[in-house]
Structures are given as structure tokens and as C-alpha cells.
Amino acid sequence: QKEVEQDPGPLSVPEGAIVSLNCTYSNSAFQYFMWYRQYSRKGPELLMYTYSSGNKEDGRFTAQVDKSSKYISLFIRDSQPSDSATYLCAMSSAGGTSYGKLTFGQGTILTVHP
């Protein structure tokens, strides 16, 4: 079983829809939770990161972390065709020998059609 599970999709939504992307994880040592966006043949782009549990909002994007359920989410409001990309969740611990290591989900392919 992988440490981080993410539904690969693909997910197709109409423009303006609210998109919900999710990941589950098994390693209770994870304290930092990140969301990256990756366009085809490009490097991953950091959207936002959250420490421990709670919500964080940045423009149309909201990240939620529920450590009790080992479940994280990214919501995209008023989705646009330019949001079409692969979304990757990533996690890391807050210390120890794995401090510098990011563990990624497989990525969810999102298409927003006009």
C-alpha cells in the first residue's frame, strides 16, 4: 500500500464548477501538506501548503487537512479552463531523517471545459 493515495481521475467539469480533489495517507508523521499543479511536460508548481490540521485559503483555492481522518482536500472555486492540469498532493514530516523528503500522490488529471 502506498503512503499517499490519490484518485488519478480523470476528472472533467464545466467552467465555473467547484472542484474537489482529495488524498488520503497512512503515515501519521506527516505534518506538512502541499498541493502542486503540473501542466503537461512542465515542472510541478506549488499552489499552497498547510501545516497540521485546518483550512487555508488563497484566492479561488482552499486547502483542508483532517489529520484525524488522514485526509486532505483541495477545493477550486469558479474553475477555469486554465485550471486544466494534473494536481499532485505531497506530504512531509516535521523532523527526523525524512525532514527533506516529499512524498507525492499519483496526481489527479483535471479538465475544465468551456
Partner 1 sequence: DSGVTQTPKHLITATGQRVTLRCSPRSGDLSVYWYQQSLDQGLQFLIQYYNGEERAKGNILERFSAQQFPDLHSELNLSSLELGDSALYFCASSKGLAAYEQYFGPGTRLTVT
Q: How far is the CB of 106 from partner 1 (least distance, A)?
A: 5
Q: Is 39 in the site for partner 1 (CB under 8 A)?
A: no
At 94, which amino acid appears? A
107 belongs to the binding site for partner 1 (CB under 8 A) = yes
Q: What cell was used for 20?
A: 474537489
Q: What are phi and psi of 108, to 5 degrees?
A: -115, 125
Contacts of 71 (CB under 8 A, 6+ apart): 22, 23, 24, 65
Out of 32, 56, 62, 67, name the contact with partner 1 by CB under 8 A.
Answer: 32
Per-residue interface string for the shown chain with partner 1, residues 72-101, x marking contact by CB under 8 A: ----------------x-x-x-x--xxxxx
